[in-house]
Chains A and B, each alone.
Chain A
Amino acid sequence: MSVLVYVENWDGHFKKASFELVSYAAQLAEMTGTEPVALSIGRVEESELRKLGRHGIGQVIRVEDERLAHLDTRAYTRVISEVADVVKASAVVLAHNVTGKALAPRLSVRLKAGLVTAVTGLPKSINPFTVVKKSFSGKAFALAEIRTEKQILTLAQNSFKLVEKEIQVVITGFDPASTGAVSTHVREVFRQTGKILLTDADIVVSGGRGMKSPDNWGPLEELASLLGAATACSRPVSDEGWRPHEEHTGQTGKIIAPTLYIAVGISGAIQHLAGVSSSKFIVAINPDRDAPIFEAADYGIVGDAQKVLPALIEAVKEAKGA
């Protein structure tokens, strides 16, 4: 019997969370009187794999199949469950991150094992198998019981302390009998270039209904390109089709947090501000001095966008030229 822990790598390296996971698995194995086994999928240097031994795991299984270079949940599930069978795992431990959350439910079905996610510590008892898990965004805790023979756990991050326990590591290769049909192949990775992504932008220039017409966006776009900023808009603007839907920021649109957010002709309704209030500085341009946006803004210009924007563009040009 054993406790199998799947240790994910990032470009061939492990993170602190990986070692927490390994520590947890080792402790769990000790509690249940079984052997801890780590499984690594993908290309990881032997020296990196050996690091797992510092936290009490002596047996590492490595799968270096080229087809498994990228996460494919179906294929990974088959491999992990195959390994689990080989090492007679009574428990499988994964990280409570995107990968772990994607794999755990599938494994649960395949191994017919009960699953508890976001576990915060070692089991309260082994028989019956009960563990504490987080619920409601960590606001509450639940005591969960697993009644199946095998258990699957995903460990909440930063909830289990690293345990230092040096052990000699034995690394064994493993060729999975079947990976199933790998359903996705990543052929090439494109990285976004050129246009600034709204969610990544440091500066955002955003227009609202106060822009009055889709034809008035020229100056706004010019200002954005001068500042190296992304453009955004409020909901009514995208509703009316003045601007593409991707630009819609706010409660039901994109939620952004740039360093500088320039709100032009936006009154500052809560639905909009809910999506931009984390901006470091907010500058508002609005003809209505009573507009609520001025309460949220660090700097405000009372005036019509069609007059203020050209002046602002000139000023930016001047500042840049100087």
Chain B
Amino acid sequence: MIKQVLFAIALVLTLAVFSYTVARLSARFRLTCKAFPIRNIFRRLLLTIKVAFVQTRILRRPVVGLMHALVFWGFCVILFGSMEMVIDGLTAGEGSFRALGILYRVFIASGDIFAILILFLILAFLGRRSLLKIKRFHGPELTRRNHLDAAVALSLIFFLMVSLLGMNTFTCKLNEISGQAETAWFPVSSRLAGLFPELTPGQLHTGHEINWWIHILLIFIFANYLPYSKHFHVFLSIPNVFLSNFEPLGKLKTLEHVTAEVRLMMDPQTAFAAPASTSVVRRFGVLDIEDITWKNYLDSLSCTQCGRCTSVCPANLTGKKLSPRKIMMDVRARMKEKAPGLIRQGPGFSDNKSLLRDYVAVEELWACTTCNACARECPVNINQPSLIVDMRRFLVMEESAAPAGLNAVFANIGNNGAPWQFSMQDRMKWADGANLKVPLISELNAQGRKPEYLLWIGSTGAFDDRYKRVIRSFVRILNYLDIDFGVLGTEESSSGDVARRAGNEMLFQMQALMNIGLLNNYGVTRILTCDPHAYNTFKNEYPDLGGTFEVIHHSRFLESLIRSGTLKPDPEVFRDQVLTYHDPCYLGRANREYSAPRSVIRALAGGFREMDRNRSFALCCGAGGGQMFKEAEKGDREVFQLRTDDALKTGADIIVTACPYCLVMMTDGIKYNNREGDVKALDLAEITARSLHL
């Protein structure tokens, strides 16, 4: 009876503290903005099973991944026993779930095995943290407190397991003496029991009770410690996965109030006829904690500072200040700092600080290549790049505070529809004197014809003398097959990808709406392009603004032609050469296209060698997210150099890629290594054209 009362008091206390924590957190969530609607419950459940319960993301690193997965699965099983303990404690019973029969035995038995497993794994984790110098566990953002937090949480788990095993061992002993029918199997504890000397039943009972109380109290303490610890992920990672954003990684959120503005601006008639917009937007982009979405905050609470994101970040790897993990930690810390004031005094509250600048430095934001390696790596589906871009949006749209190189890009895109200062009238010069058939869609349209495909050239294709060759190679293949296509010619204008990722949502939407209007006018339904950035923007981002097209990247296009036997490459051309392939982020991670380019290369050449980091693990070339057009932030190296090292390490003669930016970066990297004599960077279209002797 006394035990029952004591237990009830402990439980009520636990629940009280926990409810307080929940109330506090929900008040904080109420400060955030809306993110996206939660639909597709079934799909979400499947994702949760895959990512949370099967631990697919964690297992991207097989060894340590399996260690974590075992602890996780063990927790799930042991949780069953803990629930039983709570019922036992309240009813003064013992083995309340016994009625479940065989299932009960299986649970208890596997819990017993997992307990010892987890115990040793936790020791291994502690040892790993304190003895091995694992790079991702260190970083300027990790304070002593963070390290202590990790140690405390791991130790708590350790003692939880010790007490669980203790409890089980005493139970075994007691059963042994009393000759009681075996109520559960304890494969581990029964052996531990053999190690103990003979004790009186009274002593055994006391031993059991002590362990029982230690275990349950530790659980109560643990449950209330977690929400204040980085280990909150124990509770939140499953909901965070369930509430993932289902959009492809390459898609950035469309700011609707910007769309309204842009539509008005682009049409002076409606602009000046319409009354001034009544809904007032607080600000564009993210400056402080009240501008983030609930998902950003949930992300920050779900982050356990494992550093997988930071360990794959190209900016971080090259010594730049950006660490995606830090961004998440900053969000959580800033919320903790500002929330009380905001809750007390309402939205007017200011402490003269902000998330941007006081926590996240501008330099960190501008180091991001938006390669999405961090988001791809995160075991609990946190999305860091979208928040980085949201903060850039504030800098650009509210303060015009972009790096000089990017401001020039914005002006150029605004003036002449390309990131560089070239005239729109020169957009077709790539075809000059090349003896190619390049029908203009405007002319086809005048004849009442509609081509099957629109070929999107892109600004690099139009103006980069090196990349013009890629376009010519691809068009040569199209001509060779007599494919019915047209180009926009001088009517083409930047897709807006760079502007958007650099934070200039307004300019992006202007470009997008302009292009969509043009494409829809010509009745375009299928777009072919060699540029993964244009591909991503058309495929994932234009639909929000009224442009729905079937978009085909040339890698997939070439692959299907080779697979169907329409294209018959000559295997002799690259017979003696070794080729490697660099995955463009916006083809690979953003749109999961890894196989098509590889199939093409394998069909053309005998010697294909993967780099160590490939497919979804591939390192960015360093040019995305506007980096192509600005000075690199301060660091040890440039990203393209690191990536070229990866490529050169394969001993390849040709670095194949499928993106205009990647091609520029790989070409530069080869030059920096003084290898232009023996290594070439070529696009997929170029090697295909060569294999066809075109």
Question: Contact residues of A with B, CB < 8 Å?
Answer: 124, 132, 135-137, 139-143, 145, 209, 236, 251-252, 255, 267-271, 273-274, 277-278, 288, 292-293, 295-296
Contact = CB atoms under 8 A, between A and B. Distances in A.
Interface residues of B, number: 36
A254 to B, nearest CB: 12
Interface stretch (B172-180, B323-331, B459-467): B459-467
B641 to A, nearest CB: 11
Which of A132, A274, A278 has the most chain B CB atoms closer than 10 A to its own CB? A274
A267 B510 contact: no
Given A136-B414, A143-B272, A236-B671, A270 B463 contact: yes
Contacts of A278: 421
B631 interface: yes
A252 B405 contact: yes
B48 interface: no
Contacts of B276: 143, 145
B266 interface: yes
Contacts of B463: 270, 274
Given A136-B265, A236-B668, A270-B467, 15 more contacts: A136-B506, A136-B507, A140-B265, A140-B266, A140-B510, A141-B268, A141-B271, A143-B276, A252-B629, A252-B630, A252-B631, A267-B671, A270-B420, A270-B466, A274-B463
B350 interface: no
Contacts of B671: 209, 236, 267
Nearest to A296: B465
B265 A141 contact: yes
B310 interface: no
Contacts of A295: 465, 468
B interface secondary structure, majority: helix
A141 B264 CA distance: 9
A183 to B, nearest CB: 24
A143 B271 contact: yes
Contacts of A145: 276
A278 to B, nearest CB: 7
A97 to B, nearest CB: 17
A258 to B, nearest CB: 15
A141 B415 CA distance: 14
Contact of A142 (B265, B468, B469, B630): B265
Which of A141, A270, A295 has the most chain B CB atoms closer than 10 A to its own CB? A270
Contacts of B464: 269-270, 273, 292
A68 B43 CA distance: 71
Given A143-B271, A278-B421, A269 B668 contact: yes
Contacts of B411: 137
Contacts of B630: 252
A270 B414 contact: no
A268 B468 CA distance: 12
B667 interface: yes
Nearest to B632: A252
Nearest to A278: B421
A296 to B, nearest CB: 6
Given A137-B411, A139-B510, A293 B421 contact: no
A237 to B, nearest CB: 11
A299 B262 CA distance: 45
B75 to A, nearest CB: 51
Given A137-B414, A140-B510, A269-B664, A251 B466 contact: no
Interface pairs A-B: 9 shortest CB-CB: A292-B465, A270-B464, A140-B265, A295-B465, A274-B420, A137-B414, A292-B466, A136-B414, A252-B405
Contacts of B672: 236
A271 B466 CA distance: 11
Given A269-B667, A270-B664, A139 B421 contact: no
Which of A137, A140, A268 has the most chain B CB atoms closer than 10 A to its own CB? A140
A224 B408 CA distance: 30
A287 to B, nearest CB: 10
5 contacts: A267-B671, A269-B667, A273-B465, A292-B469, A295-B465
Contacts of B594: none
A104 B630 CA distance: 30
B608 interface: no
B137 interface: no
B103 to A, nearest CB: 66
B222 interface: no
B422 interface: yes
A289 B658 CA distance: 24
Nearest to A144: B276
Nearest to B460: A270
